[in-house]
Structure 1
Amino acid sequence: MSAAVLQAAGAADLDRLAQGLAPAGAGLPDGGIETPDTVAMLRDLAGSIRPDFDPAAWLVVADGEIVGLLSLVKPPANGIITIGYGIAPARRGRGHATAAVRALCDWARQDRRVATVAAETGAANQPSQQALIANGFVCTGRRDDPDDGPLLCWTLVVG
């Protein structure tokens, strides 16, 4: 198995994924990567961020297959980008999230617009927390979200 890499996701890529289809030249795992509604929400969010900050979303690709998504979850401000990521249920536990976050951080270190990468994880989501810890993120606090419940807040200074 090859390590997961990031590929910038354009509006057309996210449109196809929202329809349950793979962008040209890639496959999808059985069961897809996320619900169409979630992909549509991420497509719209990336579309709102992209005019001011591009790229705003990435495909997580391993062995020619899209195994997940990584995206900005709000517009960047003051050199801080906030990311979210998810790996297809059929492809979890294989290191794809850790590799995707690593690739994003490597990219961020080269982009002068970015000084800090931030993320949040569910308080009980140990695998996601481990992906961030493996990449040098530090837990900086917690908050309660009305939709997602207790969250841990993470940051990594890259610039």
Structure 2
Amino acid sequence: MTALSTPRLLLRAMSASDAEHVVAGRPPEGARWADGYPCPGEQAAATRLLGTFAGTGDPSPFGSYEIRLGEDGPVIGGMGFHGAPDEAGHVTIGYGLVPSVRGMGYASEALRALLRFARDRGVTCVHGDTDLDNIASQRVMTAAGMRFVRQDSALKHYRVDWDGPGPE
């Protein structure tokens, strides 16, 4: 199972069983979830992940990841891909954290790790979007190296492009 480490976080790929627990809102035996996890966005992502498992199989490594505080800390949110890269090497990402840990730089730290991971696997472009009034999420994407590209009536759209795989 894929895991990505940062100085403060562990991003661990979610299994179908993990996703079932998130959808149900009940942690698996022995797991620790921070207060407020999972939020509705995490449950929606877990529902989408279960659909992928049922339809096309395990999406790893381009699935969803739980975000933990360190190796043994509680799950504080989730982050992941909305699917495998398309024929042009593009993917879309999403993420969320429980309210109690927002504003501490965790989302940007996790997103930087996920972007490096994608680039190292040949992804050429990562897309993300956020509500017009979600300034915090806009800052997360900018801090992680994504740039604002356009706005529509509901969302601000961000992306990062690379010429090819390799570390930054």
Q: Normalised by the shorter chain, which TM-score bucket?
A: 0.7 to 0.9
Spell out, residue by residue over 1:59-82, the C-alpha distance to the aligned partner (whole angstroms, 9 max, x if none).
111141111111223553120010
Of 18, 26, 45 in structure 2, the residue corresponding to residue 21 of structure 1 is: 26
**Percentage identity across paired residues of the two chains:** 28
Alignment RMSD: 2.4
Q: Residue 115 of structure 1: CA displacement?
A: 0.9
What is the one-letter code of the residue matched to 1:70? M
Q: Conserved in 2, the CA contact under 8 Å of 1:58 and 1:71? A: yes
State the distance in 2 between where 1:104 and 1:83 align: 9
Q: Residue 48 of structure 1: CA displacement?
A: 6.3
Asked whether 1:84 is paired with 2:76, we answer no
TM-score, normalised via structure 2 length? 0.78
Q: Conserved in 2, the CA contact under 8 Å of 1:8 and 1:59? A: yes
Asked whether 1:125 is paired with 2:126, we answer no
| 1:156/1:52 CA distance change after superposition, 3 Å | farther
State the distance in 1 between where 2:54 and 2:84 align: 8
| 1:48/1:81 CA distance change after superposition, 3 Å | farther
Q: Conserved in 2, the CA contact under 8 Å of 1:29 and 1:91? A: no
Residue of structure 2 equivalent to 1:71: 80
Asked whether 1:54 is paired with 2:63, we answer no
Spell out, residue by residue over 1:28-76, the C-alpha distance to the aligned partner (whole angstroms, 9 max, x if none).
1112231385254333354368648422111111141111111223553
State the distance in 2 between where 1:45 and 1:139 align: 30
What is the one-letter code of the residue matched to 1:15? E
Residue of structure 2 equivalent to 1:38: 44
Q: Conserved in 2, the CA contact under 8 Å of 1:5 and 1:103? A: no
| 1:71/1:45 CA distance change after superposition, 3 Å | farther
Residue of structure 2 equivalent to 1:96: 106
TM-score, normalised via structure 1 length? 0.82
Residue of structure 1 equivalent to 2:160: 156
Q: Conserved in 1, the CA contact under 8 Å of 2:131 and 2:155? A: yes
State the distance in 2 between where 1:120 and 1:127 align: 12
What is the one-letter code of the residue matched to 2:136? P
What is the one-letter code of the residue matched to 1:32? Y
What is the one-letter code of the residue matched to 1:153? H
Give the unaligned 5+ runs of structure 1. Answer: 145-149
Secondary structure of the residue that 2:127 maps to in structure 1?
A: strand
Residue of structure 2 equivalent to 1:138: 147
State the distance in 2 between where 1:46 and 1:99 align: 27
